[in-house]
Amino acid sequence: MDTRFWLIQIFNGISYGALLFLVGSGLSLIFGVMRIINLSHGAFFLLGGYVALSVIWTSGSWVLAIPVAALAVAVLGLVMERIFLRPLGSDPLRQVLLTVGFAFVFQQAALDIWGGDNLDIIPPSSLTQSFVIGGLYLPGYRVFMIGIAAVIGITLWLLMEKTRMGAAIRATVDDAPMARGVGIDTSRISMFIFALGALLAALGGVIGGAFLGIYPGLDFQMLPIAFAVVIIGGMGSLGGAAIGAILVGLADNFGKALFPEISYFTLYAPMALILAARPTGLFGRE
């Protein structure tokens, strides 16, 4: 195996990691702020892809599909949080089962509306050209995925570190009762974060739909991988989610290329070990 093999694999791993960052960062924020294991996160991803398809079919515009899908799913998440999750209290088991219930309902709704076929989101042709850099063929869409993940990541980082809202969110992650004590409306923070998480997952669905396809069952396929990202990176930390996403993206790519027979095992076993040794993840906030 020459250097080119390694470079291509590293590039593929990082670009897949870029997609995982979109899904994982939302899940990580939701977990960090609300301590909720959101099993409908995969459904948000899938619905994002489907809504984008509908927008493309009616308006023909891929660029328009991105914000419409992201906002539509964000509203869905907001409603779900306000009406169902908020009154539920803090029992993790009940929260998990409630979000699973919604995941099944969304799955059925997607099947009824968009059917059971494997669909593809086709991005504009300007994004699908390949570059040749130093003798390496780089698919343009993968470069675009890395770019958009970087833009989103920087935006989120600015939001979290440089705004008042971000400071309130960080305070809630660190110590929710104390945050309430100093007058932060943690209920509104939770609502905002759940909607933001749904938005990021939907964005992942639109971007990833061109790459993975959009089909029934994709939701529960993405879900555990997103959890691996969150756990390895650390819950409630953006930087952690970014590092976790790249690590999982690389591990997934190299696993499948080098030892395909145990490739998923090599993804989830470290996740279990990290949880056992350091429950807050490698870079999680204590």
Partner 1 sequence: MTTNTKAVAVIGVVLVIGLIAPHTGSFGVLLITRALVLAILAMSLDILLGFTGLPSLGQAAYLGIGAYLTAILATKYNFGLGSSFWLVIISGCAIGAATAAVFGLLAIRATGVYFLMITLALGQCVWGLAYRWNSVTGGDNGINLPGRPEFGIRLADDVTYFYVVFCFFVASLAMLHVLVRSPFGRSLEGIREREIRMRILGYNTWLHKYIAFIIAGAFGGLAGVLWAHANGHVSPEDLVLTTSVDALLMVVLGGSGTLVGGAIGAAVVVFLREYLSTLVPWWQYALGGVYILIILYLPGGVMSIPVRIRQWRTGPGSPMRKNVALAPH
Q: How many residues bind partner 1 (CB under 8 A)?
A: 45
188 near partner 1 (CB under 8 A): no
Residue position matching structure tokens 């933001």: 196
| Amino acid identity, position 266 | T
Residue with tokens 């660190």: 174
Structure tokens at 97: 């089962």
Q: Is 223 in the site for partner 1 (CB under 8 A)?
A: yes
Candidates 186, 227, 238, 251: give the one binding partner 1 (CB under 8 A): 227
* Residue 113 interacting with partner 1 (CB under 8 A): no
d(CA 121, CA 211): 8
Q: Give the residue with the Cβ less far from partner 1, 15 or 107.
A: 107
Q: Are 248 and 232 in contact (CB under 8 A)?
A: yes
Nearest-angstrom CA–CA distance, 165 and 171 = 10
Residue span binding partner 1 (CB under 8 A) among the ranges 53-61, 137-145, 200-208, 275-283: 275-283
Is residue 228 part of the contact set for partner 1 (CB under 8 A)?
Answer: yes
Task: Work out whether 177 is an interface residue with partner 1 (CB under 8 A).
Answer: no
CA dist 84 and 46 (Å) reads 21
DSSP string, 250-268: HHHHHHHHH-GGGTTHHHH
Site residues (CB under 8 A) for partner 1, limited to 252-271: 260-265, 267-269, 271
Q: Which of 75, 101, 129, 137 binds partner 1 (CB under 8 A)?
A: 101
CA atoms within 13 A on the CB side of 219: 28
Retrieve residue 168's tokens: 């309130």
Q: Which stretch binds partner 1 (CB under 8 A): 47-55, 156-164, 186-194, 224-232?
A: 224-232
Please report, as ranges, the residues that interact with partner 1 according to CB under 8 A: 31, 35, 37, 39, 84, 88, 91-94, 96-98, 100-108, 111-112, 220, 223-224, 227-228, 231, 260-265, 267-269, 271-273, 275-276, 279
